[in-house]
Amino acid sequence: MADERLQKLSVRAITAFVIVFSVWFVIAERDGLLRLLTWLLAGLADAPRALEALISYYATLPSEPLLLSAGVGGLAGGIVSHLIWRRAVRTGKRVPQRALGLALGIGVGMAGAQIAATATQHCTYRPEASAAETLLGVVLTALTAIAVLLPLWTLLLGRRRFEQAESGYFRSRGLGYILLLPTLLSLLIFLYYPSAQMFNMSLMARRFPIRTERFVCLGNYISLLNDVVYQNSLLTTFLITIFVVLGSMVTALGIAVLASQKVRGAALYRTLLIFPFALSPVVSAAVFQAMFREGGSGLINYLLDLTLGVQPGWLRDAMLARLVVVFAAIWNILGFNIIFYVAGLQNVPRDLQEAAAIDGANRVQRFFRIVLPMLAPYTFFLLVTNVTYAFYGIYGAIDMLTQGGPPIGAAGALGGATEMLIYKLYQDGFRPGAPIGSAAAQAVFLFTIVAGLTVLQFRTIERNITYGG
């Protein structure tokens, strides 16, 4: 059986490669790994002390903030559990006793609320907290309580259970976990731990690199919400996002349809069309900067001056500057969208179109009634990625082209015309003497907005999409 021998050989080759790679990796990175290990061990060794501090914190905590936070968490937990219970009953699932479920929900909610409450040192429930802080604190507490209850939701309602994976399995369970360990570790060390640290930082008034810091409760969040510059930045972000997402997806679909026609050299066209995506945002923005730069050394204004005798203030006029940023962002992500639409168009069954053609549907009708709905999964995927790109990835374009400008109001008292949230965050977080507490609060807000938008898109749009055909 040649087949079997080949398989064994390939398994051995893969195994050998993995081992050689691991050994090489460990040797090459031994200093870093050792530091990581010491750091982890130090963290573990620190655990008893942290626990002790936690216990003494709760021992000295006045009862009022504790009761209030537990009450809010319990209320949120109770309401959510009630909703889950009702829904489970409606879908005909086997459910536990209602009272038991409620009691469990309230209990978990009360305990879950303590996660946020401990992180903020119960400051929003103390008498000296401002009204806005208290309100924001209640929202935060309720959200944490609900977040803790989410696994319960999934467990009870059993939404979308995945079938056992079909290809490949491990005979021993342990090996699977061992292989997962590097991923889990890196997620924990490089994602979850820094996120928790960042939340902690957002409660502080601190200036990098000065080490002294002062606990300010939710003060950073409140002053952001009251800051007209931040409000305008939020509006600018939504405005630019809408134009970038619509513009890039419509243009990409149009180009993809054209590029999918059977013409000579179609493959060449496609390659060239996808190429802008291979450039990093900063490089592509540098190209745009060379074109739109003012003062006489920009290409576009040179040509316009030569032919029409006008020199628009591309980067100095608020509306035009936004337009240039939108163009640069669209151009950069266009290739990415085209790849997916070209692939999607190839998967639209010909027979459906032919059948429609026989039934008398014209080209336009076929496109809107058949092709577009068949592309819906691609459109949805691109919508989510493009929104994320517009929120995060646009940074390079803004930094190269406008640096958030032109300023609105005297000395930019109302912010900048292209100062999107991500750019403002970077500016506030990484300049010398940066107010990193405020920057961390901005990062939390930004994450909340993007996560909220993504959930919204999944809940409203994704439900109406049919995958496969």
Partner 1 sequence: MPIATINYLGETPVIRKRLLVLALASLLIIAALGAPTQAQEKIQINFVHIFGGQQDFRSQVVQGIADAFMAQNPNIVVNVSSTSTDYVELFNNALLAAEQGQAPHIVQVEDSLIQLAADSDVFHLIGDIATPEQLATLDDLLPTVRAYYTLNGKLVGMPWNASNPILYYNRTMFAAAGLDPDAPPKTFAEVLETCEKIMAQRETLKINACINFPITSWFAEQWLAMQNALFVNNDNGRSARATEALFTSPEMLRVAEFHKALKERGYFTYTGRANDYNGEGITFLSKRTAMTISSTAGLTLFMNFSKAQGFELGTAPLILPDERADNGVTVGGASVWVTKGHSEAETKAAVDFIFFLTNTENDMTWHKGTGYFPIRKSSVERLTAEGWFEQNQPFAIAVNQLVNSRGNIANAGFVVGASAELREALTKAFQSIVDGGETPEAALAAAKQAADRALAEYNAVVGN
In whole angstroms, the minimum distance from the beta carbon of 323 to partner 1 comes to 13
Nearer to partner 1, 90 or 171 (CB): 171
In order of 10, 80, 172, 184, the CA distances from 7 in angstroms are: 5, 52, 20, 30
* 252 within 8 A of 385, measured Cβ to Cβ: no
| Inter-axis angle of helices 318-346 and 266-274, nearest 10 | 140
Place of tokens 């399995």: 169
Angstrom distance (rounded) from CA 272 to CA 287:
16
Place of tokens 């999934």: 154
**Peptide bond preceding 65 in cis form (omega within 30 of 0):** no
In the window 158-177, what residues touch partner 1 (CB under 8 A)? 166-172, 175
In the window 253-312, what residues touch partner 1 (CB under 8 A)? 289, 292-298, 311
Sign of the torsion formed by the C-alpha atoms of 191, 133, 429 and 322 = positive
Residue span binding partner 1 (CB under 8 A) among the ranges 205-213, 230-238, 272-280, 450-458: 205-213
Nearest residue to 84 (alpha-carbon basis) of 62, 108, 67: 108
Nearer to partner 1, 314 or 389 (CB): 314
In whole angstroms, the minimum distance from the beta carbon of 2 to partner 1 comes to 11
* 432 within 8 A of 425, measured Cβ to Cβ: no
In whole angstroms, the minimum distance from the beta carbon of 361 to partner 1 comes to 41
Nearer to partner 1, 127 or 433 (CB): 433
* 171 within 8 A of 132, measured Cβ to Cβ: no
401 binding partner 1? (CB under 8 A)? yes
423 binding partner 1? (CB under 8 A)? no
Binding mask 21-60 for partner 1 (x = CB under 8 A): -xx--xx--x---x--------------------------
Which of 339, 435, 447, 462 is in the footprint of partner 1 by CB under 8 A? 435
7 binding partner 1? (CB under 8 A)? yes
Nearer to partner 1, 213 or 462 (CB): 213
Which of 221, 314, 340, 391 is in the footprint of partner 1 by CB under 8 A? 314
Nearer to partner 1, 293 or 369 (CB): 293
Nearest residue to 40 (alpha-carbon basis) of 211, 177, 181, 201: 181
Which of 9, 14, 196, 242 is in the footprint of partner 1 by CB under 8 A? 14
* DSSP-assigned states of every residue in 140-185: HHHHHHHHHHHHHHHHHH--SPPPPPSS---SSHHHHHHHHHHHHH
Nearer to partner 1, 315 or 375 (CB): 315
In whole angstroms, the minimum distance from the beta carbon of 410 to partner 1 comes to 4
210 binding partner 1? (CB under 8 A)? yes
Place of tokens 């609060």: 441
Angstrom distance (rounded) from CA 168 to CA 175:
13
Binding mask 334-363 for partner 1 (x = CB under 8 A): ------------------------------
Angstrom distance (rounded) from CA 450 to CA 443:
11
410 binding partner 1? (CB under 8 A)? yes
Interface residues with partner 1 (CB under 8 A)? 3-4, 7-8, 11-12, 14-15, 19, 22-23, 26-27, 30, 34, 166-172, 175, 205-214, 289, 292-298, 311, 313-317, 321, 401-403, 405-413, 430-435
